[in-house]
Structure 1
């Protein structure tokens, strides 16, 4: 897969996975998706030590709502803001920086820097251990101190041990074969077994900080392991969806992203259904609550006047929400 192909595949897969993960009050909310320059929506610090090649691109701000993805006891004990994560991304492809923060824990921060390189294989002896031409020390221009504390992990999407592969070609690179490109299936260490085509390698640098007394080391280690799992599963899906996105243009992708944003706004609303009686008539009130309010389906006061439901007050947040009323 070429670097240019992966750019389209990555953006397509992000949009599709956002839709798949959203619903029932959980999921992804796209708050901003617009260009960035050295003046507008600029990252701080500048990307890749201020390299002039990466001073413009696409900026996104997304909000991840995870209340339904944690055990009930966690939902009961944790404040609602602890289950909301913000993702800020500056995509100056082939370089991208993603920063994840938490609304409740100010000390929580995960930064992922990605550089996508059109690598070719080296001599066979080196190939077995690190198969790519761009060395890990060069990719992110780390200082000697940073290199000393860094761990290098090679992620192979053709290895069942590294992926949560399913049993269908839709999500398993080891059995998928592309109809449009003829690529696949993949086997472990596929690049060492006679492959001579173009190849893209994503060099990712993950920094995490979670300054919680007594738990910091354990939590940061858990986050690093989770990131490896996410990288493996995401890139596996990009490969298996190639017949969906191959041939798309960046204009197609921007249209898809806007369509996805609108769809997410629709499905991510929490819908509360309240039946009320007034003058021997029964009305059903559907209250659509935007996901960002994080309103639980309780404490709804319905105010009636002249057989009509005119307003609803969500007491926890003191917000008024428009309602639609239909007789049943």
Structure 2
């Protein structure tokens, strides 16, 4: 049996703004996490238009070791406001898969079935609402990424100090993220799937804290400016990883 959880993350921005904000945050995060031969490789980033829909397709490799044994492959179909992401591991093969389906809506997390799930999936689903102002599950605390301390100079939004900010903030939108974890390795399935879900929850919390605290970075950008930023980021990631791999090889 697979583990199915729906995470609901309320954000102090509009649905249209979030489209730019998430792409900006992903590009920025990719740069910060690449180093020592590890990090993110952008293999494909191009529009798609086929019988399944229309949007932006990306394929990335997350390098966690130089040998590649722990590398993760990610494919994403971004037909905003709906997005689908599939994570796999070539090393583990068909035993492992994490599927994240997302819908972005202009509400406060009250839509009961935002992803139009069938009865079987609804029976398996559990709901987990993430408050980006909470410090749990985020790892090391960073004051610069604390929504309770950040105030946007461009928009005047923040800091998010009110206990009921999710009920009162304007503008507002919600990310509904359905995460399905599959790890079909007898004896380890339940423990590993719970660990993956816990890890994903932490990643979502950190990402959306950063997204809010980067409001002055992404606010006002156009999608064309964002695509140009993505292309430049992909080039820099490749150059950075190549340089660090080369220097490490020479050193050894």
Aligned ranges for residues 19-98 of structure 1 at < 5 Å? 19-38=31-50, 46=52, 55-67=53-65, 80-98=67-85
The total of aligned residue pairs comes to: 236
Residues 65 and 85 in structure 1, CA contact (< 8 A), matched pair in contact too: yes
Provide closer, same or farther for how the CA distance between residues 113 and 273 of structure 1 changes in structure 2, counting only shifts above 3 A. Answer: closer
Structure 1 residue runs without a partner (length 5+): 40-45, 47-54, 69-79, 120-130, 275-285, 287-296, 299-328
Residues 132 and 205 in structure 2, CA contact (< 8 A), matched pair in contact too: yes
Residues 138 and 203 in structure 2, CA contact (< 8 A), matched pair in contact too: no
Residues 165 and 171 in structure 1, CA contact (< 8 A), matched pair in contact too: no
Q: Deviations over 1:34-93 (max 9, x none)?
A: 001115xxxxxx4xxxxxxxx10000000000127xxxxxxxxxxx44311100000001
Residues 175 and 184 in structure 1, CA contact (< 8 A), matched pair in contact too: yes
CA RMSD of aligned residues (A): 1.8
Residues 61 and 73 in structure 2, CA contact (< 8 A), matched pair in contact too: yes
Aligned ranges for residues 143-292 of structure 1 at < 5 Å? 143-161=118-136, 163-164=138-139, 166-168=141-143, 170-187=144-161, 188-192=163-167, 195=168, 197-269=170-242, 270-272=245-247
Structure 2 residue runs without a partner (length 5+): 1-12
Which of 86, 106, 112 does residue 100 from structure 2 map onto? 112
Residues 135 and 141 in structure 2, CA contact (< 8 A), matched pair in contact too: no
Q: TM-score, normalised by structure 2?
A: 0.88
- TM-fit CA distance, 1:189: 3.8
Q: TM-score, normalised by structure 1?
A: 0.68
Residues 158 and 190 in structure 1, CA contact (< 8 A), matched pair in contact too: no
Residues 3 and 116 in structure 1, CA contact (< 8 A), matched pair in contact too: yes
Asked which structure has the greater RCO (Cα within 8 Å, sep 6+), the reply is 2
Residues 71 and 90 in structure 2, CA contact (< 8 A), matched pair in contact too: yes
Which of 14, 24, 27 does residue 12 from structure 1 map onto? 24
Which one has a larger percent helix, Structure 1 or Structure 2?
2
Distance 1:189 1:11 in 2: 28
- TM-fit CA distance, 1:164: 4.3
- TM-fit CA distance, 1:18: 0.3
- TM-fit CA distance, 1:149: 1.2
